[in-house]
Amino acid sequence: MAEDTFTRLGQLIGKIQGLPNGAHAQDVSAEKRAWHLAAGDEIANHTVVQPTADYWLIIADGPVWGHAVIQRQQEILTALAQTDHHPQALKVKVRPQSTPFDLRESRAGSAVKPLDPESADLLIETADGLKSDDLAQALRRLSRHRSKESS
């Protein structure tokens, strides 16, 4: 008799990269439900949770939401413990949502407006008085966008 090549979905899901080893769909959705309950809908809607054995990695879509998780970390860990999930810590990363269009394309289609000579001079004067070399260099680079009419 021929060998059966059928593989159950539960066995495939456990092999997906990024999921904890041996995780099943029910476990992952249970962890997401626990995160929603512990963090609240507002924070949960702006974060993604990636549980590991020791900690849960929380990826926020903006610094405000990352800071909210950090501020409520103890409260969230306590709430997670009540749902039988016991991460020792929450690690937060901020990864903004991708922009809906390519910024390079939008910049290529629009002409850069040159600075008027007074603004360019003001940038150079400001750069000369700064303690930060990096900021001074950035202002000098900006001042190079002076209009050609009266340099």
**Model confidence over 119-135: pLDDT tens digits?**
889 989 999 988 888 88
Task: Give the pLDDT band (50/70/90) at residue 136.
Answer: confident
Q: Which two tokens stand for residue 93?
A: 């990363």
What is this structure's pTM?
0.48
Is the distance from CB of 62 to CB of 94 less than 8 angstroms?
yes
Would the CA dihedral through 87, 90, 94, 100 be positive or negative?
positive
> What is residue 110's predicted lDDT score, i.e. its pLDDT?
52
Secondary structure of residue 5 in the 3-state scheme: coil
Q: Is the pLDDT of residue 69 over 50?
A: yes
Domains of the chain, by residue range, sit at 9-94, 103-143
Average pLDDT of 134-142?
Answer: 87
